[in-house]
């Protein structure tokens, strides 16, 4: 395995090694599933004999900048990587002009966009297995995509997946009813109560990762780029997350056929670990090859952990995809 970046030299290594490498081995383009709605896609090709292609489904408010180090490691491990930015994120199309809010009209839009991109990639690289990796919101999307097209992907990894979001301090059932009410009354694009536009800087101590160097570099990038300043969900997004949970737990799990590996964070404050456990149990009862690994010493964003944690995480990831 390639040498991992340490805290002491993190920013320098990203600027002098990782970024130039990705620029030399990647291409950026747009795909349109619907007229005038362009999905921003990045495709990176490994220099090594390719072992497969990994499509990465990112999380809520995220974008390519948060995954560059991770993608670099996947390339060094012999995988091509496809990274589409979801609707409302990064340089992809949006359903609102507000650059701080994540808004969606249906969870099915995320799935349709991802499958549209995945099929294009599979067509371009037909000889290689296509793997799926999803984090947080992107993990819920990945699970639903694997259910919607059971033979497209060879295997799927769900990292801290949003099978169900945590809505504290509002109870989940209350949040569910409130979101449905706002959507029915034509106010789906409003900020969820208590959420605000991007403004004050975030604090590392309240962040979802355990690596200070990774946190600081990403925050500096966010401050300079309006397209990276997503910070809050709309009621439409919350309603979509609720409906996605309903689909996965009552219908979607019945359609998944491929091996599933779920990584669960130790200190998890954004998504339900109980629902993750339940989802894996349901898959196993159906005879699906489904495993769950609890990762000690981590928060929600496992890939934003120190080098020691990341080394073990990447070994397990690449072993599963082998």
Tokens describing residue 125: 């690289």
Q: Mean pLDDT in runs of 10 for the chain (322 residues)?
A: 87 96 97 97 97 98 98 98 98 97 98 98 97 98 98 98 96 97 97 91 91 95 95 97 97 98 97 98 98 97 94 97 94
Q: What is the structure's pLDDT at 3? A: 86
Q: What is the CATH number of the domain that holds 270?
A: 3.40.50.1820
Q: What is the structure's pLDDT at 2? A: 78
In a domain, 61, yes or no: yes
Q: What is the DSSP string of 142-207?
A: HHHHHHHSTTT-S-EEEES--SSB--TTS-HHHHHHHHHHHHHTT-TTSBPTT---S-SPP-GGGS
Q: Are 107 and 239 in contact (CB under 8 A)?
A: no
Beta strands 37-44 and 79-84 are antiparallel
Q: Is 141 exposed, middle or buried (0-12, 13-18, 19+ CB in 10 A)?
A: buried
In a domain, 94, yes or no: yes
- 233-258: b (≥16 Cβ within 10 Å) or e: bbbbbbbbbbbbbebbeeebbeebeb
In a domain, 287, yes or no: yes
Q: What is the structure's pLDDT at 201? A: 77
In a domain, 2, yes or no: no
| CA pair distance 204, 297, nearest whole angstrom | 16
In a domain, 1, yes or no: no
In a domain, 245, yes or no: yes
Please give the backbone phi and psi of residue 101, each rounded to the nearest 5 degrees, phi first: -110, 140
The domain tally of the chain equals 1
Query: Domain range spanning residue 41?
Result: 7-321
> Is the model's pTM score more than 0.95?
yes
In a domain, 174, yes or no: yes
In a domain, 148, yes or no: yes
What residues contact residue 1 under an 8 Å CB cut-off, 6+ apart? Answer: 73, 76, 77, 311, 314, 315, 318
């Amino acid at each position: 395995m390639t040498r991992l970046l340490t805290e002491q030299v993190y920013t320098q290594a990203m600027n002098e090694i990782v970024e130039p490498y990705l620029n030399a081995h990647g291409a950026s383009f747009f795909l349109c599933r619907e007229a005038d709605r362009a999905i921003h896609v990045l495709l990176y090709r490994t220099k090594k004999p390719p072992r497969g292609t990994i499509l990465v489904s990112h999380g809520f408010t995220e974008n390519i900048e948060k995954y560059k180090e991770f993608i670099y490691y996947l390339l060094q491990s012999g995988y091509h990587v496809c990274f589409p930015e979801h609707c409302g994120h990064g340089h992809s199309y949006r359903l609102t002009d507000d650059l701080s809010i994540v808004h969606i009209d249906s969870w099915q839009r995320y799935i349709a966009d991802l499958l549209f991109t995945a099929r294009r990639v599979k067509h371009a690289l037909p000889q290689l297995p296509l793997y799926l990796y999803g984090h947080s919101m992107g993990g819920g999307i990945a699970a639903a995509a694997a259910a919607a097209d059971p033979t497209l992907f060879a295997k799927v990894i769900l990292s801290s997946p949003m099978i169900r979001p945590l809505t504290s301090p509002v109870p989940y059932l209350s949040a569910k009813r409130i979101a449905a009410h706002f959507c029915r009354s034509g106010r789906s694009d409003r900020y969820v109560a208590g959420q605000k536009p991007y403004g004050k800087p975030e604090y590392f101590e309240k962040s979802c990762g355990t690596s200070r160097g990774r946190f600081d570099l990403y925050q500096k990038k966010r401050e300079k780029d309006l397209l990276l300043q997503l910070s809050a969900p709309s009621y439409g997004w919350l309603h979509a997350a609720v409906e996605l949970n309903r689909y996965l737990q009552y219908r979607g799990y019945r359609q998944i056929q491929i091996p599933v590996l779920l990584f669960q964070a130790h200190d998890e404050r954004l998504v339900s670990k109980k629902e993750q456990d339940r989802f894996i149990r349901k898959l196993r009862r159906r005879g699906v090859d489904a495993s769950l690994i609890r990762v000690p010493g981590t928060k929600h964003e496992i890939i934003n952990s120190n080098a020691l944690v990341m080394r073990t995480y990447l070994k397990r990831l690449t072993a599963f995809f082998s």
